[in-house]
Amino acid sequence: MPTITPFLWFNDRAEAAMNFYASVFPNTKVLSIHRAQGKVMSVEFEIEGQRFIGLNGGPVHSFTEAISFFVSCETQAEIDRLWGSLTAGGGAPGQCGWLKDQFGVSWQIVPKTLGALLSGGGDSARGGRVLRAMLQMKKLELPQLQQAYDGV
């Protein structure tokens, strides 16, 4: 069975990005750093068991929101920590749980229960309230989403 590995093209900050992600996600392993003529050319690392490759490919390509990393969080504290860490140092918040980190990589930081909340348990009015609440948010606030679900 083939494996699929996200391959991230950086201008010249692949090693810095890898180190940053290792500081944000505690279960990160640096697998290798490849150098040529004294410069880092590529890095390989794992976050939560998912392998990534980063390349210092120059300014030819940049990241867009068309590709993002979706992170399901158990608690609001986890959402808050990841949101704060990933937007630090020049990152930017987006709408509905989306953000860009300081390297321009897009992330979605969401509660694991979001799908169930949006489905409304089969009640379209309930799901609509959750959707309206979510559309007003940048960082997702689980207590507010739950209140919308409950009709509070």
CATH code of residue 129? 3.10.180.10
Question: What is the overall mean pLDDT for the chain?
Answer: 97
pLDDT band, very low/low/confident/very high, at 2 (cuts 50, 70, 90): confident
Averaged over 93-106, what is the pLDDT? 98
Domain that holds residue 54: 1-59
CB atoms within 10 A of CB 71: 19
127 and 70 both lie in a single domain: yes
Give yes or no for residue 75 having a pLDDT over 90. yes
Are 48 and 117 part of one and the same domain?
no
Looking at the structure, tell me whether residues 79 and 45 fall in a common domain: no
How many domains does the chain fold into? 2
CB 87 within 8 A of CB 99: yes
User: CA gyration radius for the chain?
Assistant: 18
Q: What is the percentage of the chain residues whose pLDDT exceeds 90?
A: 98
Query: Is there a single domain that holds both residue 70 and residue 132?
Result: yes
Strand order in the sheet with 98-100: 68-73, 106-111, 98-100, 92-93
The predicted model gives 104-130 an average pLDDT of: 97
Whether residue 114 is found in the same domain as residue 148: yes
**Residues 6 or more apart whose Cβ sits within 8 Å of residue 70:** 107, 108, 110
Helices (H) and strands (E) in the chain — how many of each?
5, 8
Cα–Cα dist 140/146, whole Å: 11
